[in-house]
């Protein structure tokens, strides 16, 4: 049972210049989303990040909004938030798999994304995971984005070249 396990959490990175994070949230389950947002904002503030937020209709639109922001706006990292609760149809599987896959592909292209889209069997699981005083998955997603921003900045400007030496 996840609620009784202990996990190691990396300390938040520190930054020598400001960090801009964008929270992209699908507030389909508004109370769950609000808790995820609270956790993400608190973690961003703890790292000294400037945090903006936008809402999209559903979890499938979160990656598209992040892709647009990555191309058209000026953010260092992104926090994907939302909740998908299993229902009676296979739509749950489509939403979970496709939103996660799209976020992973954006990350592989260089976007610094923390994935806090909950995929759960029932509302009780979502409430525990979203609660900032509980599992704080919104805060964890923000921390993941911040760690990727730190790595991106660490490695920025370094190049392995293409095999030729001057």
What positions carry a catalytic annotation? 91
Would you call 145 exposed, middle or buried from its count of C-beta atoms within 10 A (0-12, 13-18, 19+)? buried
- The CA-based dihedral angle spanning residues 133, 106, 27, 90, taken in that order and rounded to the nearest 10 degrees: -100
What is d(CA 33, CA 35) in angstroms, rounded to the nearest whole number? 5
Under 8 Å between Cβ of 142 and 114: yes
What is d(CA 79, CA 27) in angstroms, rounded to the nearest whole number? 14
């Amino acid at each position: 049972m996840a609620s009784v396990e202990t996990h190691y959490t990396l300390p938040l990175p520190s930054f020598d210049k400001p960090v801009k994070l964008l929270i992209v949230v699908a507030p389909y389950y508004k109370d769950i989303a609000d808790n995820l947002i609270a956790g993400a904002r608190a973690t961003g503030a703890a790292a000294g990040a400037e945090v903006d937020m936008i809402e999209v209709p559903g979890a499938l639109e979160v990656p598209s909004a992040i892709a647009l922001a990555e191309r058209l706006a000026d953010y260092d990292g992104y926090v994907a938030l939302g909740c998908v609760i299993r229902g009676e149809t296979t739509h749950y599987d489509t939403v979970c798999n496709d939103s996660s896959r799209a976020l992973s592909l954006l990350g592989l292209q260089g976007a610094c994304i923390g994935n806090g889209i909950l995929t759960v069997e029932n509302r009780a699981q979502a409430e525990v995971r979203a609660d900032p005083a509980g599992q704080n998955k919104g805060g964890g997603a923000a921390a993941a984005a911040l760690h990727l921003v730190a790595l991106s900045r660490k490695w920025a400007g370094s190049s392995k070249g293409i095999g030729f030496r001057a």
